[in-house]
Structure formats: C-alpha cells, structure tokens
Amino acid sequence: MMTLRVEFAGQDHPVGRAITEIVGRLEADCAALISAARSSGAIPPGPPAAVMASAYLGVVEALGIELAGHAPHDTELATRAVRGLLGLPPATPVTPVTPVTPVAPEPSSAPPTA
C-alpha cells in the first residue's frame, strides 16, 4: 500500500482516492483500538491515538517491505517494534533467533565454457 500511496500522492486519480480512503479507515480503526486498549489499561498513555495509529501502520508497512522473505526473523522483529511503539515490555518468553549460516554452492562438475 505504501507504494501505491507514494505513486498517487497529490493526484486526483481513482486509485489514489481509493487508497486514501482505505488507509483513512484503517488508521481510524487502529486509533479506536489504541484508545480502547488505553482505557482498559492494556497499553500505557502516550501520544494521541491517531498519531499512534499512523506510526503503527508505518512500522508494520516498513517492516513488511524490508523483511520480506526473512522468516522467522520478520515476525520476531515486527513484534519487538510494535510492542516498543505501543509502550509495552518485550514479549516473554523471547523466541531465540537462530542465525542463518550461508551455504556454499556445490562445485560444478561441468567443464568450463569458453
């Protein structure tokens, strides 16, 4: 969605209008959930809910783009980022992240080509 928002920013285009409407509804829903969570004490007070919702969606979008194809690290890092943004302590127990060891390609038995 971020790509579409950037592509159609400042243009009077049907796709741009639809994306703006969708993102607006999503931000409003997130802001309502943040307000409800604050009211229940599930998350601490902080910046206005609308600002938090915008920041939350930005973090989720950015992590989704940058960490695509990096499972299981993507979910671990997304959890850390979102919990930090919302003012929550780290999740327990923290899932250990196993480092990925690169595998060298098998040597080719084919004769070199010239």
In a domain, 107, yes or no: no
Q: What angle do CA 73, 79, 82 make, to 5 degrees?
A: 135
Does 34 fall in a domain? yes
Percent of the chain with pLDDT over 90: 41
Integer Cα distance of 89 and 23 in angstroms: 28
Q: Considering the domain boundaries, does residue 16 fall inside one?
A: yes
Instruction: Count the domains in the chain.
Output: 1
Residue-wise pLDDT tens digits, 3-30: 776 777 777 888 888 888 888 999 999 9
Q: For residue 97, is pLDDT > 80? A: no
On whether the pTM is more than 0.85, the answer is no
Q: Which domain holds residue 19?
A: 2-85
Q: Is residue 98 part of a domain?
A: no
Q: 27-55, pLDDT tens digit by residue?
A: 999 999 999 999 999 999 999 999 999 99
